[in-house]
Amino acid sequence: MNIARIANVKNAVKLLITCLFWTTALSAAQYYVSPTGSGNGSLKNPWPLSVALTNRVITHGDFVWLRGGVYSNLYTTTLACSATGAPIIFRNYANEEATIDGQLTITSSSTNVWFWGLEFIDSQKTNRVSAFCTIYGLGEGNKLINCLIHDCCIGTSPQGQAEAYGNIFWNCGKDGLEHCIYWQNASDTESRVIDNNILSNPASLGMQLYGQDAQLKNFVIQNNTMNGAAILLGGGNPVVNALIVSNDMCNFRGSACDLLLGYNVNTVNSNVVMVANYFAAGSPLMFNNCLWNNLVITNNVLYSSNWVVINSLTNLSANVFTWGYNSYFNENPMWQTYLWRLDDGSRGSLAQWRKNGYDLQSTYTNTPPPDRVIVRPNKYEAKRANITVWNWSVSSMVTADVSSVLAVGDTYIIRNGLNYFDAPVASGTYTGQPLQLPMTNLTVAPALYGYIPVTSYENPYPTFGAFLLIGSPAITPPQHIRVVSP
């Protein structure tokens, strides 16, 4: 994976996706479903969702619009599309709230089907067996885009989708086996991409990229905002090719870590790159006792309330690791001499760690890290962006430059990304000036149905926060409809 190449093509990909969306939408067939549908798939006589998910009349480039309401069932899709540039898209109609309450199974025969702008919950969660998957995803080329996935069991598992982009996950799971995202990947040709999502307060982990017997190949984890939600990357088989870049993670549940790399002592993990992340936790980075080949850890900001790094690295050598240009922060001076902790109980300072040849260009500071505000435009929807705030100075208001997202005269609302259904925190007409974001009197979403004990919630405001910016105009589906009997 080439980091520079990924950065260079972002704008081109965003423009291409936007053009493809509108070109496809104007020429494709349009179908409609509703919670009470029993008709022919037209706007006035919609199908039930179960019919649309298995109707072979739906083909590449077609849209299925979900009318607002709750779809309560265990659904399965077998739809397949061979054209990667013209997927089948299931999307909420005209910004209506379309909620799937139960489970969606995407079978291994399903390919290039996108689920966009939908809400997934599971009101029967406490009655499910452990490790129940709300979005059980198999197949290749399938995507979850700008969905709300919350108060369910495992959010999405096991082989995942080709991409999870722009989704907001919260309160996923009811025990230690259930996470927001639980993915594996056996494909040598298709990466699993987890990009620009917000994940908050799962029962266990934000992302568990693990399998005792499953393969863990080709992951791209980038631009995500995570609150009280850690990542495990490792399993019985080695991790092969993983890019972890530009993620913001805040996790102070006890002595929790942000990122746990490796799992099995008998594996040799290879080509894992961790670059330009901003992590704050009890111990932001932890390694299990396994072997590595080409591990790159550079240009990261790591803040800890105790040890910065907990190491169980058994093959420290220059041809295995590239480790440097990181910025370490800890406000407690007593930890300066105990920056790294090893499994044998020994502890070391940055100076002792440098004797291994690592972090020679890195810094350690007994202060909080600098404040920063990150605006991440959404590549699938214009005038939409996730905003991440680090506010160590504990200011009551911060500003966000959204000129890359909005044009003067656009109307907008800003939602609390950690409590989506709360009232918008700001709204108005964009004047070209930076927007004001409040950082006080904000809450995280309460768990529905008592899924997660309230004592396990982490409310990071005002130090850390996440927001969703949605500007005008709203997308209205084209009215070119080809009516087909189910």
* pLDDT at site 290: 72
pLDDT on residue 299: 97
pLDDT score for 160: 63
Task: Choose one of 348, 365, 382: the last residue of a domain.
Answer: 365
Does one domain contain both 324 and 298?
yes
- Residue 193 in domain: yes
In a domain? residue 242: yes
Q: Which of 71-75, 134-138, 156-160, 425-429 has the lowest mean pLDDT?
A: 156-160
In a shared domain, residues 183 and 315 = yes
Residue numbers of the domain that contains 461: 373-471
pLDDT of residue 480: 36
pLDDT of residue 344: 60
- Band (pLDDT 50/70/90 cuts) for residue 339 is low
Q: Looking at the predicted structure, is the pLDDT value of residue 399 above 60?
A: yes
Q: Rounded to whole angstroms, how far apart are CA atoms 398 and 466?
A: 12
Is residue 323 domain-shared with residue 195, that is, in the same domain? yes
Q: Which of 365, 386, 413 is the last residue of a domain?
A: 365
At 91-103, the pLDDT tens digits run 999 999 999 999 9
CA proximity to 435, closest of 474, 466, 406, 395: 406
pLDDT the model gives residue 378: 98
Peptide bond into 478 cis (omega under 30): no
CATH of the domain at 448: 2.60.40
Are both 355 and 415 inside the same structural domain? Answer: no
Report whether the peptide linkage leading into residue 462 is cis, meaning its omega lies within 30 degrees of zero: yes
The residues that bridge with 163 in the sheet, in sequence order, are: 143, 193
Cα distance between residue 35 and residue 46, in whole Å: 9
- On the question of pLDDT at 321 being above 90, the answer is no
Establish if 482 belongs to a structural domain.
no
Q: Do the domain assignments include residue 345? A: yes
Given this model, what pLDDT does residue 334 score?
A: 65
Q: Which residue has the tokens 């900001």?
A: 301
Of 13-22, 232-241, 361-370, 401-410, which gets the smallest average pLDDT? Answer: 13-22
Pair 331, 406 in one domain: no
459 compared with 304, residue with greater pLDDT: 459
pLDDT at 350: 79
Position 341 scores a pLDDT of 65
356 and 455 part of one domain: no
* Confidence band for 159, pLDDT divided at 50, 70 and 90: confident
Exposure string of 285-314, with b = 16+ CB inside 10 Å and e = fewer, is bbbbebbbeebbbbbbbbbbbbbbbbbbbe
Please report whether residue 486 resides in a domain: no
Are 352 and 406 in a shared domain? no
Give yes or no: residues 393 and 254 share one domain.
no
Same domain, 168 and 24: yes
Work out the mean pLDDT of the chain and round it to a whole number: 85
Residues 315 and 448 in one domain: no
The Cα 167–Cα 169 span in angstroms is 6
pLDDT digits (tens, 9 = 90+) for 70-91: 999 999 999 998 877 899 999 9
Domain boundary among 311, 341, 365: 365
Lowest mean pLDDT, pick from 18-32, 278-292, 443-457:
18-32
Note the pLDDT of residue 278. Answer: 96
Structure tokens at 166: 């722009």
- 378/411 same-domain check: yes
97 and 210 housed in the same domain: yes
pLDDT exceeds cutoff 70 at 54: yes
Q: Is residue 250 part of a domain?
A: yes
187 has pLDDT over 80: yes
Task: State pLDDT tens for residues 123-153.
Answer: 998 888 888 999 998 888 999 999 999 999 9
CB atoms within 10 A of CB 131: 17
**Paired strand residues for 280:** 250, 303
Closest CA to 272 of 327, 231, 301: 231
pLDDT for 164-185, tens place per residue? 999 999 999 988 788 999 999 9
> Measured between alpha carbons, how far is 53 from 444 in angstroms, rounded to an integer?
34
Does the residue 272 lie in any domain? yes
pLDDT of residue 254: 58
| Rounded Cα gap, residues 408 and 5, in angstroms | 32
Position with higher pLDDT, 371 vs 268 = 371
Predicted confidence band of residue 451 (pLDDT cuts 50, 70, 90): low
For 1-39, the pLDDT digits (tens) are 444 443 444 444 444 454 445 444 546 899 999 999 999
What's the one-letter identity of residue 209?
Answer: L
Query: Would residue 26 count as lying in a domain?
Result: yes
Which of residues 236 and 222 earns the better pLDDT score? 222
CA 45, CA 402: separation in Å to the nearest integer?
Answer: 41
Residues, the chain, total? 486
Count other Cβ atoms within 10 Å, centred on residue 96. Answer: 13
Return the percentage of the chain with pLDDT > 90, whole number. 59
Domain count of the fold of the chain: 2
Most confident of 5-9, 158-162, 326-330: 326-330
CATH of the domain at 329: 2.160.20
Residue 346: φ, ψ to 5°: -75, 150
Q: What is the 3-state secondary structure (H, E, C) of the chain?
A: CCHHHHHHHHHHHHHHHHHHHHHHHHHCCEEEECCCCCCCCCCCCCECHHHHCCCCCCCCCCEEEECCEEEEEEEEECCECCCCCCCEEEEEHHHCCEEEEEEEEECCCCECEEEECCEEECCCHHHCCCCCEEEEECCECCEEECCEEECCCEEEEECCCCEEECCEEECCCCCCCCCCEEECECCCCCCEEEECCEEECCCCCCEEECCCCCCEEEEEEECCEEECCCEEECCCCCEEEEEEECCEEEECCCCCCCEEECCCCCCEEEEEEEECCEEEECCCEEECCEEEEEEEEECCEEEECCCCEEECECCCCCCCEEEECCEEECCCHHHHHHCEEECCCCEECHHHHHCCCCCCCCEEECCCCCCEEEEEECCCCCCEEEEEEECCCCCCEEEECCCCCCCCCCEEEEEECCCCCCCCCEEEECCCCCEEEECCCCCCCCCHHHCCCHHHCCCCCCCEEEEEEEECCCCCCCCCCCCCCC
